[in-house]
């Protein structure tokens, strides 16, 4: 009986290690991969203070220093991404097969074809709440002389 338990424990440990090694690096690490080097951010944010919301867009220019096979993560938090477009240095659009949020590491993950080292631009449109929390971009009101400001 004890040999069966030891064998079971060994198999579970081996299977767990195998599954973890198959996981993409962005699932295990909350840092953007070192081969993705942001160069500039062009950000436009349009707050609607009456509604307590905002919308905006960002273009991130980055240098990819090594070949990436499929997965490209970028950081987001409390944003709803509505559009994701990526272009190479010549302005050719990179095929993005799938996008999704990975909240555990605050990532927006894009599944692409294999991409080679080059300069790229990532353009994203987004919207969010100004009243969800007091972290990041938020609306605040204070009272002075009986007036809300």
Taking only the tens place, the pLDDT of each residue in 38-84 is 999 999 999 999 999 999 999 999 999 999 887 899 999 889 999 99
Mean pLDDT to the nearest integer, 129-134: 76
Residue in 82, 79, 78, 67 with CA at minimum distance from that of residue 123: 82
The pLDDT score that the predictor gives to residue 18 is: 45
Burial class (CB in 10 A: 0-12, 13-18, 19+), 28: exposed
End-to-end Cα separation, the chain, in angstroms: 73
pLDDT-derived band of residue 142, with 50, 70 and 90 as boundaries?
confident
Residue 40 CB neighbours (<10 A)? 9
CATH topology of domain 31-138: Immunoglobulin-like (2.60.40)
Listed ranges 1-10, 27-36, 77-86; the one with the highest mean pLDDT: 77-86
Does the pTM surpass 0.85? The reply is no
């Amino acid at each position: 009986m004890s040999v069966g338990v030891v064998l079971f424990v060994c198999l579970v440990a081996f299977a767990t290690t195998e599954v973890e090694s198959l996981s993409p690096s962005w699932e295990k690490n909350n840092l953007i991969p070192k081969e993705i080097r942001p160069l500039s951010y062009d950000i436009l944010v349009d707050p609607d203070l009456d509604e307590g919301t905002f919308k905006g867009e960002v273009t991130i220019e980055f240098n990819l220093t090594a070949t990436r096979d499929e997965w490209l993560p970028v950081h987001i938090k409390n944003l709803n991404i509505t559009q994701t477009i990526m272009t190479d240095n010549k302005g050719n659009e990179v095929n993005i097969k799938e996008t999704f949020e990975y909240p555990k590491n605050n990532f927006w993950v894009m599944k692409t074809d294999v991409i080679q080292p080059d300069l790229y631009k990532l353009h994203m449109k987004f919207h969010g709440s100004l009243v969800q929390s007091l972290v990041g971009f938020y609306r605040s009101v204070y009272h002075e002389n009986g007036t809300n400001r």
